[in-house]
Structure 1
């Protein structure tokens, strides 16, 4: 126990240094703490005001009234539906994360396990950093509660196992079902956009960007080809039918 008490200040100092380094380059400590409050509020209003946002797209477009403006507004509305669906799916993933971690830590006997689970539900909307913020107090509680290194390691393993289950198993399925993308497409898009954009932003925007590409391709590439094929088929049918009509008096 004395060794643990001597080591804890060093561990806390290192954890704080890692946390400051990871957050500092992204938003800064003050901005990050503000984001913890603003992100849930922003998501609430985004999901709550979805119908009004979709109805008023045209008012925010700096374009004259024209068929082109109508087309842009329609495309943006479709993209907005995908993005909103993505955040709804992500909220459900966070809820599942919080329940699994809270239940696992409760079974393990950790004090304040339900509080840690609630923190996971709220903070894991922020990729990577949110789960770290939830993991640090859980490990510290385990260290003070049992006074050894074994229990904090088990708590860490619980976080790692559930995070891997999320990334491989239920998150791609939940988000994919909400957005209309295959689970494998979700997994590949996260890896691909993570490599293209990098950092935290890549995985965070992976599904919305992929859904946006799907909308644009469906409307202006695949949809255009289908229209061309339909027009070509109609012209061919008319050409075949015209001689038949001409032969009958």
Structure 2
């Protein structure tokens, strides 16, 4: 039986390019100005954490911006980068410059699963703040009401570690065997299986991660085999 469905974003609900180009590009372009404008306020924890992680305690704002941009280009999952990206992109979503992009089959499937009684959650490497905005300011319309909760690398842990999935199961108070995880990354599916979850791989045409046994793979949420719960 399945009671809860946990969704990855990049490559699963949304094109990888939409995340990398839209969010990463928007963040990279605005990092120097955001750090300079918010020094003495919200940027201070980002500056301090970046200097510590980079072992450059005297780095100025321009150097910190350079470090963060380098991490962004290398897809380093660093907490100060995620914090800065969350704050910068929050402004972009609210200004109408950014919107969550989704594969065409996603919004109808999420609505149907929600109506059928499944609890829906998101677990992504992007910050919880960015995740919420991605679903709230979605191109198909506001999808946030369909989602019961969000998890990221800070609140749950690394996506390739079984302990992260143990923690999520504990937080949502659903037995591991009754949780289904949808992701495009085989290593994440492996970790979830080790934690006792059900998994289905999602491989979209043109996406970089390739299917790998022994998992079952689909190319559309319409092909996910789920029977309605209805409470």
TM-score calculated relative to the size of structure 2: 0.30
In our comparison, the structure showing a higher alpha carbon Rg is: 1
Higher helix share: 1
TM-score, structure 1 length as denominator? 0.28
